[in-house]
């Protein structure tokens, strides 16, 4: 019986994969990953629609809730975890759910992905509500756990976004925003940790980063919501402040120290000649958007929520 899901089909070009030299084998595996990039590029309009739909909810204080099983679930955990150090996104507003629970991050929990009710139960268990955004990820597009998560999220009034590597699958049909990442058969047949997983990682990075940019976590292309918490980040923060303000290193360092290591506040302090309290107040009035706080929003531009 032929499985209609392209991710489950045997790749037609590499029947002798196990006979290749190490160099040729690596070349084949690496080259096939290029299809992941093409799949995400083709999905750009769908990703943009998901960003637009999610922004008002997140601007009102909603959370990003991720749901998936196996590789897809682990990629959701990774994306959720990285938002805090990169964008100072509150960790309580990035909620990763993985079939089988935290134990499944390090080892497979057999059968967990087949439990649709567990997906629904996990979504309900974290109190998912109307301002939240669920991102469900499944290469097959048929994973019961992810389907249960989407259905529970929609029942709670949350926005549901689905990423899957097979077009027209039940997960994509069930969600408010469907993102098809059509990567096709894998070089190692059925191993969706390969280019299917790569496409998911790229799409998740793209989606969450676009959201953070539009929510004011970035000024120009500088990640100004970074908060320096170690030596490496301190150096990065100083360089970011210098780039944004043209201030000498000593002045950038002093402003950062006064701002508690928060790049965005230090930038507003130096650019406008304000103390830390006034800079924080100006940012708060601008909804956290550095460009607006600096008076650089041009006619026709709009902030999230307007």
So which residues are the catalytic ones? 82, 113
- Report the alpha-carbon distance of residue 30 to residue 195 in Å, rounded: 9
CA distance 45 to 162: 14
CA distance 123 to 158: 10
User: How many CB atoms lie under 10 A from the CB of residue 28?
Assistant: 15
Backbone angles phi, psi at 12, to 5 degrees: -75, -10
DSSP-derived letter for residue 112 is G
Per the CB < 8 A criterion, the answer to whether 205 and 212 are in contact is no
User: Largest Cα–Cα distance of the chain, in whole Å?
Assistant: 71
Helix (H) or strand (E) holding 250: helix 249-258
Distance CA 240, CA 267 (A): 9
């Amino acid at each position: 019986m032929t499985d209609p899901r392209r991710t489950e089909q045997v790749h037609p070009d590499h029947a002798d994969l196990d006979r290749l030299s190490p160099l040729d084998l690596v070349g084949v595996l690496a080259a096939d990953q290029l299809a992941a990039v093409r799949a995400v590029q083709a999905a750009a309009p769908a990703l943009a629609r998901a960003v637009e739909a999610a922004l008002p909810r997140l601007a009102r204080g909603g959370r990003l809730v991720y749901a998936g099983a196996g590789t897809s679930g682990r990629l959701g955990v990774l994306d959720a975890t990285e938002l805090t150090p990169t964008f100072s996104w509150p960790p309580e507003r990035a909620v990763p759910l993985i079939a089988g629970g935290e134990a499944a991050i390090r080892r497979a929990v057999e059968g967990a992905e087949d439990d649709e009710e567990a997906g629904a139960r996990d979504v309900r268990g974290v109190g998912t509500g109307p301002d939240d955004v669920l991102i469900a990820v499944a290469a097959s597009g048929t994973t019961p756990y992810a389907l249960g998560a989407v259905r529970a999220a929609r029942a709670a009034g949350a926005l549901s976004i689905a990423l899957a590597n097979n077009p027209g699958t039940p997960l994509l049909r069930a969600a408010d925003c469907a993102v098809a990442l059509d990567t096709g058969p894998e070089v190692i047949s059925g191993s969706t940790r390969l280019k299917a997983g790569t496409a998911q990682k790229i799409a998740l990075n793209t989606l969450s980063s676009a959201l953070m940019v539009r929510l004011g976590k970035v000024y120009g292309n500088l990640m100004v919501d970074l908060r320096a918490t170690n030596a490496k980040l301190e150096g990065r923060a100083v360089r970011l402040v210098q780039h944004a303000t043209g201030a000498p290193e000593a002045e950038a360092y002093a402003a950062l120290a006064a701002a508690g290591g928060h790049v965005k506040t230090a930038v507003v302090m130096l650019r406008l000649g304000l103390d830390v309290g006034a800079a924080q107040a100006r940012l708060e009035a601008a909804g956290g958007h550095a460009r607006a706080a600096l008076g650089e929003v041009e006619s026709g531009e709009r902030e999230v929520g307007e």
